[in-house]
Amino acid sequence: MLSSRFTADGSFSLYSDNFAEGFHSSGGALEEAKSKFVLPAQLDRFPSGGCLRVLDVCFGLGYNTAALMAALPNKDGPILDCWGLELDRSPLQLGLAEPTFKALWPEHVLACLEAISARGRWQDASGQQSVQMLWGDARKQLRNLPTGLRFDLILLDAFSPGKCPQLWSEEFLLSLAELLAPGGRLLTYCRAAAVRSSLRHAGLELRSLLPKPGEGAGWSSGTMALRHSNDDVQSLPEMGAGWCGLSVMEEEHLLTRAGVPYRDPSGTDEAVLILKRRQQEQALGHRPSTSAWQRKWQGCEFRRSY
Ligand SMILES: C[S@@+](CC[C@H](N)C(=O)[O-])C[C@H]1O[C@@H](n2cnc3c(N)ncnc32)[C@H](O)[C@@H]1O
């Protein structure tokens, strides 16, 4: 069961009873799509006429893809080849039934969302740009992507690890990491130690997304994980627009019990089983407690030192 709600920036969102969680932070659905996905994507890196390949994991209402499309030049921009993974068709249907949601988007973006809702696929008039949905469990549908596709951007917007650990498991994150092109970026609002540890374990370089002034997120508002490019010139600087290397505090976080990954070896386990498995691993391990880490860094809201 999904219910409607409006976020602080006035944009429409949903709450899921099944997952007992909102689709977006109360701060703003549109604002979140822009600050956590579009801004750190640095779209100006993608030249006109070149390909920009995007994987939107947990498409939902489509905010992240739509905000990305709205931020790209409508003509003479990169050629978008976007794939969406989503279990449920109803979030987008509910969005498209809400006039204020539709009013957020330029004409071509709205046409794209409507085509996706109706047919699961959109193509621009030239037939060059496309958005293609794979409906169903993202763990399964990941295997149905065309062989050899490598993504410049992966937007990971699942419900939080405590509610939807299936999409934050070491195995799922490794599969996503393998789909990143050299220089590709995985972006997520999630800053959980288990998720960051798994992304690093998958061979990606980590950056912390910086909260905007006044944002209630505290020490980080998410994670950018990068697959190294062979070309040194393209390697990601330690600091950039809206991100920064992990602080000592964040590195220590990864070593605590919170850094124990979610495991789903078969890629089919239910959330309860994945959570139970992790609790057992945490109890048997010898990692420092996360509450001791919290006490150590209490009051140092946003301490960064290298
Ligand atoms: C936080 S919401 C995504 C918000 C979305 N990016 C948007 O702009 O509205 C999480 C989404 O994950 C979807 N979901 C949950 N479990 C899934 C699964 N196993 N595979 C694919 N999608 C899933 C839900 O249906 C929901 O739409």
pLDDT, tens digit, for every residue of 197-232? 999 999 999 999 998 766 665 789 999 999 987 765
Q: Domain range for residue 187?
A: 29-297
State the closest ligand 1 atom to the C-alpha of 29, by its place in the atom list counted from 1: 8
* pTM, rounded to two decimals: 0.96
Regarding the beta carbon of 217 and ligand 1, being less than 6 Å apart is answered: no
Q: How far is the CA of 216 from the centre of ligand 1 (A)?
A: 23
Residue 234 located in a structural domain: yes
Ligand 1 atom 11 nearest Cα? 58
Regarding the beta carbon of 23 and ligand 1, being less than 6 Å apart is answered: yes
Residue 203 located in a structural domain: yes
Q: How far is the CA of 212 from the centre of ligand 1 (A)?
A: 25
Residue 195 located in a structural domain: yes
How many domains is the chain built from?
A: 1
Residue 23 located in a structural domain: no
Q: How far is the CA of 15 from the centre of ligand 1 (A)?
A: 11
CATH code, domain carrying 37: 3.40.50.150
Give Cβ neighbours of residue 216 (< 8 Å, ≥ 6 apart): 27
Mean pLDDT of 96-107: 98
Residue 97 located in a structural domain: yes
Q: How far is the CA of 269 from the centre of ligand 1 (A)?
A: 17
Residue 171 located in a structural domain: yes
Residue 70 located in a structural domain: yes
Regarding the beta carbon of 88 and ligand 1, being less than 6 Å apart is answered: yes
pLDDT at residue 133 tops 80: yes
Chain segment 107-124, per-residue pLDDT in tens:
999 999 999 999 999 999
pLDDT-derived band at 244, boundaries 50, 70, 90: very high
